[in-house]
């Protein structure tokens, strides 16, 4: 299902316990949302699985070992938080479908309606063009986090 309702989005954000971050940046890019959003989540107690697209020499981000492909992510993922341009998402479609996270979350500024429909048809919830950090904070303020 493609989720647009604010309360439902906040509920998803507040309940997320394990988040894979596709396109995560490293500590050297600390001022980039693709780093500080997962950093915030980690500090809030969310387990982060870093999946960088670049930085082939980096082996750890936020104290966690990096995973080079979504197909290498082990275990269940509550949310796949995506920091990739819409035109770059097609390259990850098969991996996302194979991973089958509960939720595919496209960060602020990222929309791909055709892919969102395909992910939804495969049984995943999809949130587009929203910031997971902002929604997690709002969920905490509203008492919606677990």
The pLDDT tens digits along the chain (146 residues) read: 999 999 999 999 999 999 999 999 999 998 999 999 999 999 999 999 999 999 889 999 999 999 999 999 999 999 999 999 999 999 999 999 999 999 999 999 999 999 999 999 999 999 999 999 999 999 888 776 65
CB 17 within 8 A of CB 101: no
User: Would residue 128 be called left, alpha or beta, if left means φ above 0 and alpha means ψ between -120 and 50 degrees?
Assistant: beta
Query: What's the confidence (pLDDT) of residue 55?
Result: 87
What are the domain boundaries of the chain? 6-140
The answer to whether the pTM exceeds 0.85 is yes
| HEC profile of 12-25 | HHHHCCEEEEECCC
CA dihedral 60, 61, 67, 69 (to 10 degrees): -130
Strands 60-61 and 64-65: antiparallel
Please, what is the end-to-end C-alpha distance for the chain in angstroms? 22
Query: What's the confidence (pLDDT) of residue 146?
Result: 58
Query: What tokens appear for 78 in the block?
Result: 């509550």
Bridge partners (DSSP) listed for residue 127: 105
For domain 6-140, is the CATH number 3.40.50.300? no
Rounded CA gap, 130 and 11, in Å?
A: 13
CB 128 within 8 A of CB 110: yes
């Amino acid at each position: 299902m493609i989720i647009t309702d604010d309360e439902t989005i906040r509920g998803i954000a507040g309940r997320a316990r394990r988040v894979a971050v596709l396109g995560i940046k490293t500590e050297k890019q600390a001022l980039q949302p693709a780093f500080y959003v997962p950093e915030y989540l980690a500090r809030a107690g969310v387990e982060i699985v870093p999946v960088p697209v670049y930085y082939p020499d980096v082996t750890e981000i936020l104290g966690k070992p990096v995973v080079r492909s979504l197909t290498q992510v082990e275990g269940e993922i509550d949310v796949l938080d995506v920091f990739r341009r819409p035109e770059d998402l097609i390259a990850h479609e098969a991996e996302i479908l194979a991973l089958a996270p509960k939720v595919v979350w496209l960060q602020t500024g990222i929309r791909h309606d055709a892919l969102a429909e395909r992910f939804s048809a495969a049984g995943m919830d999809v949130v587009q063009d929203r910031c997971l950090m902002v929604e997690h904070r709002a969920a905490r303020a509203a008492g919606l986090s677990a």
